[in-house]
């Protein structure tokens, strides 16, 4: 391997982020403080929603969201098996049960027609938790219509979907609560972190208290009442889910670049699609109702036309110095979910088929055209041989 290894993902950190973090370190305020508040305000303005709450992970945000909408032990929540485990594990945190529904073979998002069938035959469902896979929006009009029909709440897992527009409207303004991820591989990266958005002031107030031990007021409003500044009250058994100012400093500068990042990701995706479309693969489908944030570019191998399997393809890419990944191993194949609910691999046949063919290619803003062409060239060598 003569060329330097090209990783599957890299955060795009510039001098602006470094300077903002250094400013934070010099300020002496490292935990949740002025930078976190600023990040929330600027994110709220960007999305166009009245409430944005910074948290230390998307997982934490999803947990708080389900708490806010009143999920109780024994409740059921419809979601997808084609996601990372965090989407479903937060349901179990509250003693509730996930109801997995298979996915659409084109978008890899949850199949709305199958949601409707599940609602017709199952009682005790309280919410729908769709995942905007790869950065492409779900069929939100249909999901929201079903939610209204059955009096359900909608919490969106938008870990991949910044920025994604659905019918001209940014994700973050659609369901009851939306949660984003700022993990190191995401379109906006703070290392670890996330953001919750909602238009509901009661939900926002509830989540704001619970994200920091159930404290009734934060550092910014302790002087806003007649009680002493040192005084606080615990109104619920909360969690340690707050974002710190170091992560927020990164987020402030990353948010300023998010549209530029999107433009570059889109350029890379277009190069892949144009160059690979004639090979024995399926390039990502783009739904006309949704833009694509291109957090992921998932290629599907047409295994019936090839003499190699997906794992061999990945091994040969790696041997050529190119990192890839697989998104996702469906949840019903994992030990915990399989054993708890007695799943068989074929219980969700679309998710299983997509998984067996799926390869996520490198896609991040700092990739050069030469990097992209190198990936394309190696794919052609492997598949044409």
- List residues with catalytic annotation: 186
312-339 in b/e form (b: 16+ CB < 10 A) is: ebbebbeebebbbbebbebbbbbeebee
167-195 in b/e form (b: 16+ CB < 10 A) is: eeebbbebbbbbbbbbbebbbbbbebbbb
C-alpha triplet 19, 22, 25: angle, nearest 5°:
155
Distances (CA, A) of 375 to 130, 154, 319: 31, 38, 12
Q: Would you give the DSSP letter of residue 225?
A: S
- The alpha carbon dihedral of 66, 329, 283, 114 has a sign of negative
CA gap 355, 342 in Å, rounded: 20
C-alpha triplet 293, 259, 264: angle, nearest 5°:
70
- Beta strand 297-301 with 358-361 is antiparallel
Burial classification of residue 28, based on how many CB atoms lie within 10 Å of its CB (0-12 exposed, 13-18 middle, 19 or more buried): exposed
User: Residue 50: which residues within 8 A CB-CB, separation 6 or more?
Assistant: 44, 199, 201, 204
CA gap 359, 328 in Å, rounded: 9
| Contact (CB, 8 A) for 53 and 278 | no
CA nearest neighbour of 237 among 94, 346, 39: 94
| Contact (CB, 8 A) for 143 and 166 | no
Q: Would you give the DSSP letter of residue 365?
A: T
What is the helix (H) or strand (E) element at residue 44, kind and residue range?
Answer: helix 34-47
């Amino acid at each position: 391997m003569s060329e330097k290894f090209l990783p599957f993902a890299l955060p795009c950190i510039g001098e602006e982020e470094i300077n903002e973090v250094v400013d934070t370190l010099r300020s002496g305020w490292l935990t949740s403080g002025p930078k976190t508040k600023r990040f929330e305000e600027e994110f709220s303005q960007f999305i166009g929603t009245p409430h944005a709450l910074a948290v230390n992970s998307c997982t934490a945000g999803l947990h708080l969201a389900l708490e806010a909408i009143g999920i109780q032990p024994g409740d059921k929540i419809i979601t997808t098996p084609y996601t990372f485990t965090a989407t479903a594990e937060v349901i179990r945190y509250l003693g509730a049960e996930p109801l997995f529904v298979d996915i659409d073979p084109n978008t890899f998002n949850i199949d709305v027609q199958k949601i409707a069938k599940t609602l017709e035959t199952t009682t005790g469902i309280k919410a729908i938790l769709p995942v905007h896979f790869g950065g492409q929006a779900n069929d939100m009009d249909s999901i929201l219509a079903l939610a209204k029909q059955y009096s359900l709440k909608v919490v969106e897992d938008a870990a991949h979907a910044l920025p994604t527009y659905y019918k001209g409207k940014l994700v973050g303004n659609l369901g009851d609560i939306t949660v984003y991820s700022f993990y190191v591989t995401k379109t906006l990266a703070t290392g670890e972190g996330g953001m919750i958005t909602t238009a509901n002031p009661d939900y926002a107030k509830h989540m704001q208290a619970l994200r920091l031990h159930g404290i009734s007021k934060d550092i910014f409003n302790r002087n806003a009442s007649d009680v002493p500044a040192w005084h606080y009250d615990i109104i619920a058994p909360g969690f340690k889910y707050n974002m710190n100012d170091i992560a927020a400093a990164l987020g402030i500068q990353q948010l300023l670049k998010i549209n530029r990042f999107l433009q570059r990701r889109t350029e890379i995706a277009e190069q892949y699609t144009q160059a690979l479309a004639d090979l024995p693969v399926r390039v990502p489908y783009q739904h006309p109702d949704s833009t694509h944030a291109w957090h992921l570019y998932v290629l599907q191998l047409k295994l019936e036309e090839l003499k190699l399997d997906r794992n061999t393809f990945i091994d040969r890419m790696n041997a050529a110095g190119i990192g890839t990944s697989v998104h996702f191993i469906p949840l019903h194949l994992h030990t915990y979910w399989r054993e708890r609910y007695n799943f068989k691999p074929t219980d969700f046949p679309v998710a299983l088929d997509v998984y067996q063919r799926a390869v996520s290619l490198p896609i991040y803003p700092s990739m050069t055209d030469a990097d992209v062409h190198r990936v394309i060239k190696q794919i052609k060598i492997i598949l044409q041989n």
